[in-house]
Structure 1
């Protein structure tokens, strides 16, 4: 089999991403149809299975992305399948893991305010607005851990960038070693992204996990949709 060119690799991942993104839409539609809250054992089992399906969908994305990065890591950073807005928000060729904690706190605050009357009456809603003190503590601890890991990976990328001058006049083997290090940095960033989603979901009840995954996907859909609109306007000008 002939080796793929850089454009072939990018085009292949672009096609994969479009299909993956459409499938994410379908999975989120299924999440929205889940009983809220799950009322029976069968409902709870179905919700848990769907949450695991979503997590497997994210895992599949990073597996394919990792393989594509092995072929052409620079394509992962230029990300031609993403909109200009999405690329402007990227941290090491993807979303910043700590974004998830801002999402949890925002959704929790919105739902808490919408149910304030019931909560004052001592009623439990079971949603993200009803996070327990233990859940808040564990989310906060996870956020601190994630910030430390994010900073360590950012420092590693900074060191890689500081050595950019080494590429000038470098032999092919030296360039390859440099690029291989960038692949490793990207893999660490993607591993942290996936690990953070998994650990947040593990801290939540099935009902809360559904609400969190819907909110995370809606943020992704919204940013991409707005970015596509803006790119379309620029193309017309």
Structure 2
């Protein structure tokens, strides 16, 4: 697990670099070249997330229990985890929150008929598609939660069915991989529903949330350690 923890620290540092690139990107794009640059940057960030889940899957096959416990995360992060990571439906709360904030900040321009092109300028069809995807994601989330509950309900089996240990750990690996697959697919599908400009803003919000919670968690863990 120490190897994945080292990977995560490097991956997290690279995410910060990508966040800086996202934040510095031209929005809204004023020409086709800038539009292509945004598309390339979004793909680059999504590839970075794919790398994370690929490495995490390998770690789960080596030590599923440790991956579920997420030792690389702070106590605060773990308190918010759903099966070793963020809850997929968080993506939709981000879209709605960022859309509301930007809509309110540009409401005068919007009332004048001016288009901002950002997350505050989502079309009715985009809202409908995001809502439909949210419903699908909630259904999948609940099904995976039920799978984990079934696995946990069989905890007493560990005392009497040692020969089946490999099978039980295999089931846990499957649950973790399904959860991570849903996390990645959710972000990918949300990004597909947005324009490049909107996708960049969504990815910025997602990364800033991740950095913000981790920063608070690091501070709390440090205070707790010093207090002891």
Structure 2: which 5+ runs fail to align?
none
Given that 2:148 and 2:175 are in contact with CA atoms closer than 8 Å, whether structure 1 keeps it comes out as yes
Deviations 1:23-72 (A, max 9, x none): 00001101111111111111111110010000000000000000000000
What is the correspondence of 1:179-190 to structure 2 with a 5 Å cutoff?
A: 179-190=169-180
CA distance in 1, matches of 2:13, 2:136: 32
What is the total number of aligned residue pairs between the two structures? Answer: 227
Matched, 1:123 2:123: no
Structure 1 residue aligned with 2:140? 149
CA distance in 1, matches of 2:93, 2:204: 15
Using the size of structure 2 for normalisation, the TM-score is: 0.99
Q: Which residue of 1 aligns with 2:2?
A: 11
Q: Give the aligned partner of residue 211 of structure 1.
A: 201
Q: Report the counterpart of residue 54 of structure 1 in structure 2.
A: 45
Aligned with 1:126: secondary structure? Answer: coil
Alignment correspondent of 2:55: 64
Question: Deviation of residue 169 (structure 1)?
Answer: 2.1
Cα distance in 1 for residues equivalent to 2:179 and 2:36: 32
The more displaced of 155-164 and 132-141 is: 155-164
User: Which aligned runs of 4 or more in structure 1 are off by greater than 2 angstroms?
Assistant: none
Output aligned runs, 1:15-26, within 5 Å. Answer: 15-26=6-17
Residue from 72, 75, 82 that aligns with 1:84: 75
Query: Which of 160, 177, 190 does residue 169 from structure 1 map onto?
Result: 160
Q: Could you give the per-residue CA deviations for residues 150-208 of structure 1, whole angstroms, max 9, x where no partner exists?
A: 0000011111111111111222x301110110000000000000000000000000000
TM-score, normalising length: structure 1:
0.95
1:164 partner SS: coil
Kindly provide the CA deviation profile for residues 99-147 of structure 1, in whole angstroms up to 9, marking residues without a partner as x.
Answer: 0100100000000000010011111000000000000000000000000
SS of aligned partner of 2:82: coil
